[in-house]
Amino acid sequence: MAQKKRSRKDDIIRAAAKLFSRKGYERTSVRDIAREVGMRSGSIFYHFDSKEEILVEVMAFGIGKFFEAAEEALSHAKSPVEKLTYLFRAHLEALLVDEHRDSMNVLLYEWRSLSDEGREEIVKLRDRYEEIWQEVLDEAKEAGLIEGDTKVLRLMILGSLNWSVQWFSPKGPLSADELAEAFVGFIMRNKS
């Protein structure tokens, strides 16, 4: 399958993700983004109505990468154990290893910069992604693999996974895959 050519809008989103991740949304100007992609700052407004719209697009892009990774992972999984393991791996790969780490960092840390409308849009996308996790956790509970309130467990898992950006090192003792397996081991009642 031929790879789709990136558009100018895609270039702006990637540049903004990089700058928002490194400098923060508030300290990044439209001029900074334009400079990063080699265009005049006013030209950005041909593609976006506002700087916040760029932020929403960066965050939506990050959630989209989580969706893609989850759907791809679950398409290969058959048992509840495989689904959990693959879902953990997919999330950590997208978060820690994937080339789109900058958009993931923005997704995790720039919520305060969203307007009410922007937040509502991102929350809808986030909720759809969390539904995937909820279904897999509910299936694992029905299979007797995990115990307790799966909604609280989902929040704990995603919070733990997302916080790993603070301490995970690719040079550390565990790879992202090994870390995923360790996480699964912590929540499983039994592995049979």
Q: Kindly report the CATH number assigned to the domain that includes residue 133.
A: 1.10.357.10
Q: Grade residue 50 by pLDDT with cuts at 50, 70 and 90.
A: very high
Q: Residue 4: is its pLDDT beyond 60?
A: no
C-alpha dist (Å) from residue 22 to 17, 79, 101: 8, 40, 11
If you average pLDDT over every residue of the chain, what do you get?
A: 90
What confidence tens digit (pLDDT) does each residue in 66-108 have?
999 999 999 989 999 999 999 999 999 888 876 788 998 899 9
Q: Is residue 26 part of a domain?
A: no
Residue 77 covered by a domain: yes
Q: For a pLDDT cut of 70, what percent of the chain falls above it?
A: 94
Distance CA 104, CA 96 (A): 9
Q: Given CA atoms 74, 77, 78, 83 in this order, what sign does their dihedral have?
A: negative
Is the pLDDT at 58 greater than 80? The verdict is yes
Kindly state whether residue 34 falls inside one of the protein's structural domains. no
Is 167 a member of any domain? yes
pLDDT at 191 exceeding the cut of 80:
no
Q: Domain for residue 27, yes or no?
A: no
**Total domain count, the chain:** 1
How far is it, in rounded angstroms, from Cα 123 to Cα 115?
12
> Is residue 15 scored above 90 in pLDDT?
yes
Domain-embedded: residue 32: no
Query: pLDDT at position 2, please?
Result: 47
165 within a domain of the structure (yes/no): yes
Supply the range of the domain harboring residue 171. 50-187
Dihedral angle over CA of 81, 87, 90, 95, nearest 10: -130
